[in-house]
Amino acid sequence: MAAPSMKERQACWGARDEYWKCLDENTEDASKCKKLRSSFESSCPQQWIKYFDKRRDYLKFKEKFEAGEFQPSKTTAES
């Protein structure tokens, strides 16, 4: 598989950014962002989608942790 061209990368990043913006505006309600998710998936290589999904999860966790909103699970807190 050849690496995406600059235009393909920009289209992928733009689709990702629009999808993430929709998630932010709809309080993580992915059902309201289905069309943007489809656009994101059709614009990016599958490995990139997997990476970006993990990256978003990490960034949201980090944001909550730094704001002091992270609550560890009971099993984590007890160990």
- For the stretch 9-52, pLDDT in tens is 999 999 999 999 999 999 878 899 999 999 999 999 999 999 99
Task: Compute the distance between CA of residue 70 and CA of residue 79 in angstroms, rounded to an integer.
Answer: 17
Count of domains in the chain?
1
Structural domain boundaries enclosing 45: 28-52
Q: Give the pLDDT confidence of 11-22 residue by residue, as tens digits.
A: 999 999 999 999
Give the residue among 4, 44, 2, 47 at the shortest CA–CA distance from 20. 44
Angle between helices 6-25 and 34-43 (to 10 degrees): 160
User: What pLDDT was estimated at residue 74?
Assistant: 65
Is 48 inside a domain boundary? yes
Is 44 inside a domain boundary? yes
Question: Pick the residue with more confidence: 75 or 24?
Answer: 24
Is 33 inside a domain boundary? yes
Is 39 inside a domain boundary? yes
Give the residue among 8, 26, 14, 25 at the shortest CA–CA distance from 52. 14
Is 43 inside a domain boundary? yes
Is 45 inside a domain boundary? yes
Question: Pick the residue with more confidence: 3 or 59?
Answer: 59
pLDDT greater than 70 at residue 78? no
